[in-house]
């Protein structure tokens, strides 16, 4: 029986996947500015043996719906999650952390240096979710007027990662750091190599300032179900976040990612696939259903539909609700248009798309029921799709995590679906058994000959 991995899907802001739920009296997410709040969440997750805490992040600012965005906190206010990670790592021992940065607006060297620093400070418990920012408001923040098409953003990301691997994997040999007081040699200069990169999108040359961290390259994650996104994930990603409208589609996407990984010279098991999991549970199914209904009663329909427009560029409120949602093209988030077009058996009207999104939003698999019912459904999803794990998508914090940890995890452990304790090692070791990139990964090509031995 496959033993799953569990992460949590977080943001360093007020609202998350259910817009407006900040008004729920038990919602402590309003304290997101407090480090004590985040430390308490991280320690709760470690108590539950959760594998990692993933922070999504995005550049962008309110556009047409600025008044609504500020009023309902559907975006701002929010902070940079990277600055949380050293403190959360210091407050925990085993919990790993991953966060998003963008290859569209970051500089490869600076980004590589930050992640190397985090990897050192956390003793190798760091991952990077690679995204290709698409929103025009983000471009405006950085003084750019051009809009980069969807597939070209992945071309940029390909080269961005190539530069990053050269610094992480190729600049320092494994034994370059000597720290020999007697010989007065801190670093052997013959074992640190200059990087020279001149490509289509980036030019960078020099030495990497960070010595080799426990993992060198952070665990690479990627999310996106578009054709180009899946190709990028199969080449680079070690963890893939997928969301699909049906389990059949999810199963096919997982099989496709693994097939593509093999075509890139990797092994099928070199990629762990995660999907979103929203759970509402209580001691009885009836109580869980009541709680779900209560949570949704706090949702802001206006803010929810605005969030769809901000991600996809499509304002459902401006379309005829009786017309079919078809012939839709966007250069922005295609995952959430494909779910209503490519991945449905029967055409949907705009009104049906609107109602579906109001109920499910950006959430993945949703399970409402008793702890036994939740565990049964998790096992069923794993068996049907071959997914490797889940990203828990909370409604109200800390209650969503507390309920899952106290009620569901003991059943998963009893059934052998989830570990009873952490294993030692880095994030990558816990996922794959080795702290370094596996052979066949493009980053591994930059290992020095001695390091490969």
Q: What is the pLDDT of residues 130-188, one digit of tens each?
A: 998 777 788 888 888 777 888 899 999 999 999 999 999 999 999 999 999 999 999 99
User: pLDDT category, 343, cuts 50, 70, 90?
Assistant: low
3-class secondary structure, 8: strand
Tell me the two tokens of residue 318.
């401006």
In a domain, 259, yes or no: yes
Give which of 110, 215, 204 is closest to 169, Cα–Cα.
215
In a domain, 305, yes or no: no
Looking up residue 91, the CATH number of its domain turns out to be 3.20.20.30
Q: What percentage of residues in the chain have a pLDDT greater than 90?
A: 71
Q: What are the distances in angstroms from CA 396 to CA 26, 43, 291?
A: 7, 17, 11
In a domain, 304, yes or no: no
Domain of 210 in residue numbering reads as 5-282+366-443
pLDDT of 451 > 70? The answer is no
- DSSP conformation class of 3: P
User: Which residues face 177 on adjacent strands?
Assistant: 187
In a domain, 301, yes or no: no
DSSP assignment of 40-108 equals: HHHHHHHHTT--EEEEE-------TTHHHHHHHTSS-SB--GGGGHHHHHHT-SS-EEEEEEETTTS-H
In a domain, 353, yes or no: no
Cβ atoms < 10 Å from Cβ of 448: 17
Per-residue pLDDT tens over the stretch 232-274: 999 999 999 998 888 999 999 999 999 999 999 999 999 999 9
Tell me the two tokens of residue 137.
């408001």
pLDDT attached to residue 449: 52
Per-residue pLDDT tens over the stretch 355-409: 788 878 889 999 999 999 999 999 999 999 999 999 999 999 999 999 999 999 9
Per-residue pLDDT tens over the stretch 272-306: 999 999 999 999 999 999 999 999 999 998 888 88
Number of compact structural domains in the chain: 1
Per-residue pLDDT tens over the stretch 193-217: 999 999 999 999 999 999 999 999 9
Give which of 99, 111, 95, 98 is closest to 161, Cα–Cα.
111
* φ/ψ of residue 142, rounded to 5: -100, 15
Contact predicate 374/279, CB 8 Å: yes
pLDDT attached to residue 145: 75
pLDDT attached to residue 333: 59
pLDDT attached to residue 453: 42
In a domain, 204, yes or no: yes
DSSP assignment of 397-445 equals: TTHHHHHIIIIIHHHHHHTTSS-SSPPSS-HHHHHHS-SSPPTTSGGGG
Burial (CB count <10 Å: 0-12, 13-18, 19+), residue 442: middle
Q: What is the pTM of this model?
A: 0.92
pLDDT attached to residue 307: 79
Q: Which residue has the tokens 């459902």?
A: 316
In a domain, 453, yes or no: no
In a domain, 449, yes or no: no
pLDDT of 31 > 50? The answer is yes
Q: What is the mean pLDDT of the chain?
A: 92
If you average pLDDT over residues 114-120, what whole number do you get? 98
User: pLDDT category, 74, cuts 50, 70, 90?
Assistant: confident
pLDDT attached to residue 285: 98
Per-residue pLDDT tens over the stretch 41-52: 999 999 999 999
């Amino acid at each position: 029986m496959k033993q799953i991995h569990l992460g949590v899907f977080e943001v360093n802001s007020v609202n998350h996947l259910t817009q407006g739920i900040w008004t729920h009296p038990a919602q402590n997410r309003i304290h997101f500015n407090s480090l004590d709040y985040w430390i308490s969440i991280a320690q709760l997750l470690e108590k539950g043996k959760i594998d990692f805490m993933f922070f999504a992040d995005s550049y962008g600012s309110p556009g047409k719906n600025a008044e609504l965005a500020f009023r309902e906190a559907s975006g701002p206010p929010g902070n940079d999650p990277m600055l949380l990670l050293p403190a959360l790592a210091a407050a925990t021992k085993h919990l790993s952390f991953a966060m998003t940065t963008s290859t569209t607006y970051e500089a490869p060297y600076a980004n590589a240096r930050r992640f190397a620093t985090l990897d050192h400070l956390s003793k190798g418990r760091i991952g990077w979710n690679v995204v290709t920012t698409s929103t025009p408001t983000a471009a405006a923040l950085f003084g750019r007027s051009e809009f980069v098409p969807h597939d070209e953003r992945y071309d940029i990301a390909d080269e961005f990662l190539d530069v990053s691997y050269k610094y992480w994997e190729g600049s320092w040999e494994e034994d370059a750091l000597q720290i020999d007081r007697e010989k007065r040699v801190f670093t052997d200069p013959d074992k640190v190599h200059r990087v020279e990169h001149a490509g289509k999108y980036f030019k960078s040359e020099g030495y990497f300032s960070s010595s080799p961290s426990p993992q060198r390259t952070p665990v690479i994650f990627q999310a996106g179900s578009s054709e180009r996104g899946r190709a990028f994930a199969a080449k680079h990603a070690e963890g893939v976040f997928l969301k699909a409208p049906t389990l059949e589609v999810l199963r096919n996407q997982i099989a496709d990612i693994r097939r593509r990984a093999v075509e890139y010279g990797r092994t099928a098991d070199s990629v762990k696939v995660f999907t979103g999991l929203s759970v509402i549970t209580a001691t009885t199914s009836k109580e869980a259903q009541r709680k779900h209904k209560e949570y949704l009663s706090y949702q802001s329909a206006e803010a929810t539909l605005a969030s769809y427009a901000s991600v996809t560029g499509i304002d459902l409120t401006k379309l005829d609700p009786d017309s079919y949602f078809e012939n839709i093209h966007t250069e922005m988030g295609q995952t959430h248009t494909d779910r209503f077009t490519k991945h449905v058996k029967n055409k949907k009207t705009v009104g049906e798309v609107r109602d579906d999104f109001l109920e499910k939003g950006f959430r993945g698999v949703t399970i409402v029921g008793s702890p036994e019912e939740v565990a049964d459904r998790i096992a069923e999803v794993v068996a049907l799709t071959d997914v490797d794990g889940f990203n828990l998508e909370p409604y109200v914090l800390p209650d969503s995590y507390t309920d899952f940890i106290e009620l569901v995890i003991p059943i998963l452990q009893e059934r052998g679906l989830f570990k009873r304790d952490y294993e030692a090692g880095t994030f990558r070791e816990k996922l794959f058994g080795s702290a370094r990139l596996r052979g066949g990964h493009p980053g591994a090509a930059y290992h020095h000959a001695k390091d490969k031995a």
